[in-house]
Amino acid sequence: MLLGGAGQDHVRTGLGRSGPAIFITQLQDQEGLREPSTEPVLRLLDLHRVPRATVYRGLVAHLRAQLIGRLGSRSKDELLLLLAETFAFVKIPELQPLVLAILAQTKEIPPQYITALAKDDELYGQCSIEVKRQIWQVNGKLFRAAIAPHVAGYTSAQEAAIRRIRFEVPRGEDPKQRRDSSHLQQLVRLLGTSVRLYNLLLEQLRAMYVSTGQLALCTLRVDLLMALHQAEVVLVYSKDACHEFAWSLTACVRDGLVDKVRCNNLNAILARQTVCPGHVR
């Protein structure tokens, strides 16, 4: 198969040995389409001066689209087999979309591919969010880099809001408005349904709070949990021991009221769980 470096070497050697005209004819005979029914079409296209390169690029694009469209019905084992056969060609532009689509459909990408993707900035940047989540679960450095701009954007806006509350505005900001923050929504999107990534994010927020004392990080901790609740990411928020307390307290803030019933409820929650654990269950 004349792909990548091996294909380039073959073409370079052939051109030097035979000359362009002879070598191109030989290459078309040896490596071209061997389906007899295509011969009349190719000859017709030749008469219209359509370059074979254009024909083959169009054919590759069509076949690639057909293959990608069928990936959703492939089994786990079939996807792993396809990945093993195609990953070597992931840096070839014409085939890269197919390999990336196979990766996106693979629920458990083998470690050797995760490692290769994490080491190559260009490939990592081309990966879908589903693939990146698998990479982040074993590469905390890349995950921290992905969440950093959104944590910084959220905390910067909230620090400004806290200053307004202290010196200018007599009442706080509506929590729902905070949760509409594009940075917060992006964090929810990056997490998906991964409890592992949620834990990593909480670890990062705690470490940042210890070193900076930023109050906005505490707000982010609660708003992130409630944003997951709002987005119905049950697999994550239901495992956080702080969820019931945060949900009840948010209702009090929203209504501007802490009556006896709500106060008793909050006390009962604290009695059951006096300290929020470092990780969700």
pLDDT above 90: residue 98: yes
Q: What is the pLDDT of residues 104-150, one digit of tens each?
A: 999 999 999 999 999 999 999 999 999 999 999 999 999 999 999 99
Closest CA to 2 of 95, 65, 75: 95
Closest CA to 247 of 193, 165, 255, 158: 255
pLDDT above 90: residue 239: no
Q: How far is CA 196 from CA 69, 137, 139, 193, 202, in A?
A: 31, 7, 12, 9, 10
Q: Could you give the maximum distance between any two Cα atoms of the chain, in Å?
A: 93
Q: Please name the residues in contact with 200: beta carbons below 8 A apart, sequence gap of 6 or more.
A: 136, 140, 143, 144
pLDDT above 90: residue 234: yes
Which range among 45-59, 117-131, 182-196 shows the weakest confidence by mean pLDDT? 45-59
**Per-residue confidence (pLDDT) for residue 159, from 0 to 100:** 83
With DSSP H G I counted as helix, E B as strand and the rest as coil, what are the percentages for the chain, rounded to 5? 75, 0, 25
As a whole number, mean pLDDT of residues 206-222 equals: 93
Residue ranges of alpha helices (H) inside 180-275 are 182-191, 195-212, 215-230, 234-237, 243-255, 260-272
As a whole number, mean pLDDT of residues 27-50 equals: 79
pTM of the model: 0.78
Residue where the block lists tokens 């024909």: 55
**Per-residue confidence (pLDDT) for residue 170, from 0 to 100:** 47
pLDDT above 60: residue 245: yes
More confident: 217 or 256: 217
Count of beta carbons in the 10 Å neighbourhood of residue 95: 17
As a whole number, mean pLDDT of residues 225-244 equals: 90
**Per-residue confidence (pLDDT) for residue 265, from 0 to 100:** 78
pLDDT above 50: residue 249: yes
Integer Cα distance of 272 and 145 in angstroms:
36
Residue 157 in tokens: 């806006």
**Per-residue confidence (pLDDT) for residue 83, from 0 to 100:** 96
Please state, for a pLDDT cut of 90, what percent of the chain lies above it.
Answer: 52
Mean pLDDT of the chain: 85
